[in-house]
Amino acid sequence: MPQFRYVAVDSAGKPIKGTKEAASISDIADWIHGQRGFLVRAEESVAPSRLHALLELDLDFWRHLGKAQVAHITRELAVLLEAGQDIDHALRFLAETRENAHARRIVQMLRDQVRGGKSLAASLVQHPRVFSRLYVSMVRAGEAGGTLAESLHRLADLLEREARLAATVQSAMTYPVLLLMAATGTIVLLLTYVLPQFAPIFAQAGAQMPWPTRALIAAGGFLRDDGAWLLIAIIALILLGHRKLQEPAAKLAWESAVLRVPLLGTLIRRAEAARLMRTLATLLRNGVGLVAALGIARDVLARVTAERLIDRAIAEVKSGARLATALSAGDFFPVHTIHLVQLGEETGKLADMAQRAADIHEEQVQHTVTRMIALLLPAVTIVMGLVVAGIVGSLVVAMLSLNDLAL
């Protein structure tokens, strides 16, 4: 039977950690319940590898937690509060059971601030790199309405969805990136080491190499002698470009160009719509007003174009306009989003329709990413294959010319 690591709370509210063999997590929960405890988390125990240990190192320059870690903390806090624990004991439990040292420090600081008389929302504000404005607003609304556990569950759902979507994209991009790196390494090796081996042969024969071979050897020599400076120049250009894109005008111009790319533009629009609708649905269900919810949702968007549209929508909604009409003005968000928002406003179920729109667009984003990766893999393979074939072809031409000289 597999072995599980579990974290639980006993009848006195003290944390319990351990390992136990069981057929499933349900069996672990039943066993804990028989001990008059409450299961918080259980996962199958796997022997840690050296790579895993390296990734778990607490580096001083690592100043924020990933969404998956924040979602984990949020879910456990919701479970503990739902089980009847007060906020002080729940935070103490979380601090004592964190494996990541930085997460442990964050939770302990939250507990100290709460014990000092601050609300949980006011404590979260002190850590803006970890807890977003959306997070703080959800917690504040939950505290005000006496539904903190429910608000935390919704936050955990939101963070888990975003983490899964990001993990899907990263996983899909892993193979193309590795393929590109391997092909680039092969090309650099051919240019800097293989091709120069033929230069002495032609020198001894008193022949001149064909111009394609000479050009490739010159390129290889440049990479060998000045490749480090070229790399530095490329990094500098990237950094300068990134700095320039922090300016609103430059960023807006860049976004306008990217949005005109057929498949990529559609992907960006759907991703922004999914992020906006998911956040809006979560806030509305938590009792936040529409105008305030739009203001908070604006901060989770990644595009200046979308942010300006939301600013305009907030002004129009304040003046009495429908949200669907305001969102359709910029021709940025997909038509499906506009129709579902309009339906939600007409039926009084805006939160439900926003949730539905987010689900649809997240699924579309995953399908679009899959299609893009399916197109990217053969494209990278073909381009790199052509480059390698060109280099090898130049070698063949050079050798044939040498044979012709001998005849």
CATH number of the domain residue 339 falls in: 1.20.81.30
Angstrom distance (rounded) from CA 260 to CA 258: 5
Alpha-carbon torsion angle 366, 369, 371, 376, nearest 10: -160
Residues 77-103 as b or e (16 or more Cβ within 10 Å = b): bbbbbeeebebebbbbbbbebbebebb
Tally of domains in the chain = 2
93 part of a folded domain: no
- Measured over the CA atoms of residue 24, residue 26, residue 30 and residue 35, the dihedral's sign is positive
- Supply the mean pLDDT for the chain: 79
Is residue 404 situated within a structural domain?
yes
Residue 315: inside a domain, yes or no? yes
Give the range of the structural domain holding residue 326, as residue numbers without chain letter.
Answer: 170-407
219 and 362 in a common domain: yes
pLDDT digits (tens, 9 = 90+) for 273-307: 888 888 888 888 878 888 888 888 887 787 888 88
Tell whether 284 is covered by a domain.
Answer: yes
Residue 261 lies in a domain: yes
If asked whether residues 41 and 184 sit together in one domain, one would say no
Q: Give yes or no for residue 50 having a pLDDT over 50.
A: no
355 neighbors 158 (Cβ within 8 angstroms): no
- What CA–CA distance (Å, rounded) separates 172 from 269? 20
Residue listed under structure tokens 């649905």: 281
Distance CA 354, CA 278 (A): 7
Q: Is 260 inside any structural domain?
A: yes
Q: Judge whether 406 lies within some domain.
A: yes
- 148: pLDDT strictly greater than 50: yes
Q: Is residue 18 pLDDT above 80, yes or no?
A: no
Residue 367: pLDDT band with limits 50, 70, 90: confident
Does any domain span residue 281? Answer: yes
pLDDT digits (tens, 9 = 90+) for 304-332: 888 888 888 898 888 888 888 888 877 78
pTM of the model: 0.64
